[in-house]
Structure 1
Amino acid sequence: MPHPTRRIAHLDMDAFFASVELLRYPDLKGRPVVVGGRSSSLQPQTGPDGQRQYARMRDYAGRGVITTATYEARALGVHSGMGLMKAAKLAPDAVLLPADFNAYRHYSQLFKEAVLAIAPQMEDRGIDEIYLDLTEHPEDSASLAQRLKTAVFEATGLTCSICIAPNKLLAKIGSDLDKPDGLTLLLQPGDVERRIWPLPAKKINGIGPKAAEKLTALNIATIADLARADAGLLQQHFGRSYAAWLARVAQGQDERVVETSSEPKSLSRETTFERDLHARHDRDTLSQIFTGLCERVAEDLRRKGYVGRTIGIKLRYEDFRTVTRDLSLPDATDDAVTIRRAAGECLRRVPLQLRLRLLGVRVGSLVRRGEADGAPSPLPRQGELPL
């Protein structure tokens, strides 16, 4: 069973992007709201009567995907990553809002600063979730969890869900058990069997769709089924290493530590087009999008304090084939013009006869600004998109 002394928390903001939007548009509280796409046409308008008018899902046409949705919208069957056109059939009257990542980053910083003031041993897992090591904190778990939730709400006006457990695996699963605004403790003997084992096996982070299908075919549906599964059967179908991992996590075992400092290997930006674009017929549109991606990656680098030497691109064709290319610069950079030129060189190395559905730009081999060898190269003049 799990280590009895550690206290690890997973804190997850509730429907984060949608909740930030509801701060701006409180009249939408309690209604199904979907956030997705970045088109200016989705911005709320003020009608002749002075009332806000919102775009509706039934009027959407394009290939965008859902970034997030309120719990009222989720109850209608829509979820993050679902295509907006498909979601429109399930929730045609839901309000559709464009994503505003600058606002989400702002509120992300606010909630993390509030948490750090109470529990400094934090692992940042993304814009809306964190792990905390509370093992040495003197406060009892229930009151500490509530104090963290209160601090987040006072700093942002938003709710979060938190679970404290003996390890990261259980804390991650547990933070989803009592959403929204949940407070879950999995610290007592029997908690794993009572609250975790009845869940589907795919709830374990690390069991993907293919592994879940295999388990289902073996009549292993729940985590309890997995915990009781024959070790030889698991090894036969999943191999020795993965089978051993499955056996451990089904028992709630996880020795990973909270990583309070971690360095990203790369930063990237990509976009899926509303319609397939052709390198020749849509040259100007593609050039504008391409430059915008380079500028946003450069902005991310500067904001996070990194420079990178490896510049890469990602293309997905209309037939869903994906290709990548990259090149290494002599000096690390966070300059948009330099990134744009290097990414353009990568584009010259891929066939562009087919229409494109996705374009992405990546900067890798990151180091902290000031730690790179030598100063950045003189800035080249921005060239035209080589399409």
Structure 2
Amino acid sequence: MPSLWRYAAMLPLDASEAVSLGEGLTPLVPIPGIGARLGLAQLYLKDETRNPTWSHKDRFSTVAVSVARSLGARVVATSSSGNAGASLAAYAARAGLTAIVVTFAESAGTMIDQAQKYGAIIVPMRHKADRWQVLAEGMDRDRWFVTSPFRSPVVGSHPIGIEGYKTLAWELVEQLDGRVPDWCAVPVCYGDALSGLWQGFRQLHASGIITRLPRLIAAEVHGSLATALAQGSEQVSDVGASFATLAISLGASRSAYQALAALRESGGLAVPIGNEGLLELQQDLASSEGIFAELSSVISLAAISALRRNGTIAEADTVVAIATASGLKDIEISRSRQAAIDGFDGPAEALRYLEQVADL
């Protein structure tokens, strides 16, 4: 089965021990319509919606669960309200392990439903902070293999799983025929994917496969990384959540140091993105390029747009946006923001409507 395990020589486990669902090797798609509107001739989208559970988290889960099984773990566990839990549950099912997803009492919707369908045990906590104590005690007492952060301040997810994100860099260089993009924009919560992507590029550079490195863009919500960069701080502080974001996968008000380090080393930037225009951008990507991405995914394009407007990104630059997950993941949010259309009373009414809204 073709998968990212084609790169097993640079991963922490042999391919013969992999728990795989065919993850990775996702397409790098030119998006010329949006590129033309932004004044970019070489704008690409790395379409991670094509992974088995429809998100980039599968790159993490395949490595984490493979190592967990090889170490004799019987339970894998995570704190998640979304993609990480769904992905871990799928790979645990494939491996014959028990998956525990500790989440928030108010969490609901597609991603929790998805994790349940894969057989995960869902543990909703009334107080968010309690979820980490549950994971820490499960690890200490019952030897759970815990893949997510479980301490405060957050230091990122399990480093073994983050190795899986290195394959993003290897695929990008292959798909660009050995070229290195000038910029890579990644939606960032704690920065696992950003960190792993950077590790991959550094490994390629150290081995002589590439001769230069890209600059990274952290597309974030509340601005903890942008604040740390602006202040020259070695710490990422909690900046608080000033609004309820539509990008629900990225709602944390403090990122992790690993993301800050990757930005500093790459000469990169962090761009805070609010809700304004996100739904329209999601619609634009779907209707003009044929890619339906989660709202949390399209903030990478919003960040590129902001940097193009202020001249930071040049017209001739090669730019890659990582689309981390499918728009089906948060469909209840985007659907609730759209006007409902009542059923039409006969063909004549339907045809009149079409004449109003479509150039047929």
TM-score, normalising length: structure 2: 0.27
Which one has the bigger helix percentage?
A: 2
Larger Rg belongs to = 1
TM-score, normalising length: structure 1: 0.26
Which one has the bigger strand percentage?
A: 1
